[in-house]
Copies of this chain bind each other. A is one copy, B any other.
Amino acid sequence: MSTAPTPPRSAPSSVDAVPVDREVLVARAYLSRVAEPPAAALAAFVDDVGPVVAARRVRDAVTEGPGALPPEVVRETSARRGTDRAEADLALLAARGGRLIVPEDPEWPAAALAGLGTVAGPDGAPGLEGPATRDGPAAPLALWARGPLRLDAGPSGWVAVVGARAASEYGLWVARDWSAELADRRCTVVSGAALGVDGAAHRGALAVGGDTVAVLACGIDRAYPPKHATLLEHVGHRGLVVTEYPPGATPARHRFLVRNRLIAALTAGTLVVEAAARSGAMRTALVAEALGRAVMVVPGPVTSLMSLGCHELARRPEVSVTGRVEHVVEEVSRVGDGLAPPPGTPTRPTDGLDPGALRVREALPLHAARTAVRLAHDAGVALAETTTHLRDLEARGPVSEDDGWWRRRPG
């Protein structure tokens, strides 16, 4: 892992560049560990009293009097309130060239995350079966980040490319090829660094020197999955690795589901490349839909279990099926940017011919001559009209006349 600090690529303007108070950073670093995300009550409490006061009251576990914690905050924080590693965490982050992005920072993706508090359903995926977190889909308290890309550059032009870990060769090909194409068209490819589609998406973007963001379900110091350690290093070097989990946090199943809401929220649209029925990628798509972001699926063979989730999603009115990567660019770009050109359609030498002329021409056999009267009959076109069409076709080239006998011109 690179240990050289990598400042955000486009530094904020000098007006914006007031550094966040150290006290705020330390408070948010502490709060980020003290409750398991998404901690809706704690998030609301922090919004209410500010991170510094919130951190002090949580640490002190004030349960009575004017500074008392709401009972839900007590519940969310009681198990870990004694664990304060904020200074050590920040030091570790700095040593690895990372930064803590907080709402007090101009780099905070406020617009992207604004919808999170309003999404219905336990984890922002309404109507989907399966385990769900009890807490609301709250915005994160802070984001641990590493890499030169600024987190507030999206969500416009940012696209989530997600899908199955057990992807097929087809899914891996599409993920990589389309991500390369997306990056080439100045889109930022966001994914979850998992095996399968996620990894192929990051690799595709990196292959063309494009921007890519990995949103982790564990601490930023963890390389998970281990096979992707080098990939994550590349993403952190060129794009951005980001997580709401504090250093050392281990990946756990519920964390992947919780993390997925961030992938959906940070992007203008989610593209599901392959997904089995009831999969994490489907949940990401449903959160994106609930947030009002574009949801797109890549179609695949109906014989492939790995496309089952995509085809089920395709039945939802808000979900679009994209057979061409240009349509993805169109969906996630700012209005008017990146409009897909119309698909190329084959042309035929007979294009633009009058339908009657076409019928007359088709009535002419390949290797025999016909009179105009016979052609009129065979084509069912009036004789005068047939003669006009024949003269017109003669002028255009495809037929010729010899003493009242018409035939096709060779070629």
Q: Which residues of A contact B (CB under 8 A)?
A: 35-36, 74-76, 78-80, 83, 122, 129-134, 170, 173-174, 252-254, 276-278, 298-303, 307-308, 310-312, 314-315, 320-324, 327, 343-346, 350-351, 353-356, 358-359, 362-363, 376-377, 379-383, 385-386
Contact B303 A350 (CB under 8 A): no
Task: Give the secondary structure class of A's interface.
Answer: loop
Contact B380 A35 (CB under 8 A): yes
- CB-nearest residue of chain B to A130: B351
Residues in B whose Cβ lies below 8 Å from that of A323: 302, 307-308, 310-312, 314
Contact B79 A377 (CB under 8 A): yes
- CB-nearest residue of chain B to A273: B302
Q: Given A321-B315, A321-B321 in contact, is the A131-B358 Cβ separation under 8 Å?
A: yes
Residues in B whose Cβ lies below 8 Å from that of A363: 252
Give the complex CA separation of A78 and B131 in angstroms. 74
Give the complex CA separation of A132 and B358 in angstroms. 9
Residues in B whose Cβ lies below 8 Å from that of A362: 252-254
Give the complex CA separation of A358 and B355 in angstroms. 68
What is the minimal beta-carbon distance from A176 to any residue of chain B, in angstroms?
Answer: 12
Residues in B whose Cβ lies below 8 Å from that of A385: 75
What is the minimal beta-carbon distance from A180 to any residue of chain B, in angstroms?
Answer: 14
Contact A302 B252 (CB under 8 A): no
Residues in B whose Cβ lies below 8 Å from that of A276: 346
Residues in B whose Cβ lies below 8 Å from that of A132: 355
Contact A314 B343 (CB under 8 A): no
Contact B300 A301 (CB under 8 A): yes
- CB-nearest residue of chain B to A373: B79
Give the complex CA separation of A153 and B252 in angstroms. 57
**14 extra interface residue pairs, beta carbon distance < 8 Å, beyond A36-B359, A130-B351:** A36-B380, A78-B382, A122-B355, A131-B353, A131-B355, A170-B303, A174-B303, A252-B363, A276-B346, A299-B314, A300-B301, A302-B324, A310-B323, A311-B321
Give the complex CA separation of A303 and B323 in angstroms. 9
Max chain B C-beta neighbours (<10 A), residue from A76, A134, A380: A380
What is the minimal beta-carbon distance from A70 to any residue of chain B, in angstroms?
Answer: 14
Contact A346 B134 (CB under 8 A): no
Residues in B whose Cβ lies below 8 Å from that of A133: 355
Residues in B whose Cβ lies below 8 Å from that of A174: 302-303
Please name the 8 residue pairs, one residue from A and one from B, whose CB atoms are nearest each other, closest first. A311-B323, A36-B380, A299-B299, A79-B376, A314-B321, A78-B382, A252-B362, A278-B345
Contact A301 B170 (CB under 8 A): yes
Residues in B whose Cβ lies below 8 Å from that of A170: 301, 303
Contact B277 A343 (CB under 8 A): yes
6 intermolecular pairs with C-beta atoms under 8 Å apart: A131-B353, A134-B356, A173-B303, A278-B346, A314-B320, A315-B321
Residues in B whose Cβ lies below 8 Å from that of A356: 134
Contact B355 A277 (CB under 8 A): no
What is the minimal beta-carbon distance from A213 to any residue of chain B, in angstroms?
Answer: 24
What is the minimal beta-carbon distance from A158 to any residue of chain B, in angstroms?
Answer: 22
Choice from B300, B320, B343 contacting A299 with Cβ under 8 Å? B300
- CB-nearest residue of chain B to A354: B134
- CB-nearest residue of chain B to A123: B355
- CB-nearest residue of chain B to A359: B254
Contact A299 B321 (CB under 8 A): yes
What is the minimal beta-carbon distance from A102 to any residue of chain B, in angstroms?
Answer: 20
What is the minimal beta-carbon distance from A373 to any residue of chain B, in angstroms?
Answer: 8
What is the minimal beta-carbon distance from A377 to any residue of chain B, in angstroms?
Answer: 5
Residues in B whose Cβ lies below 8 Å from that of A322: 311
Give the complex CA separation of A158 and B343 in angstroms. 32
Max chain B C-beta neighbours (<10 A), residue from A300, A307, A363: A300
Residues in B whose Cβ lies below 8 Å from that of A131: 350-351, 353, 355, 358
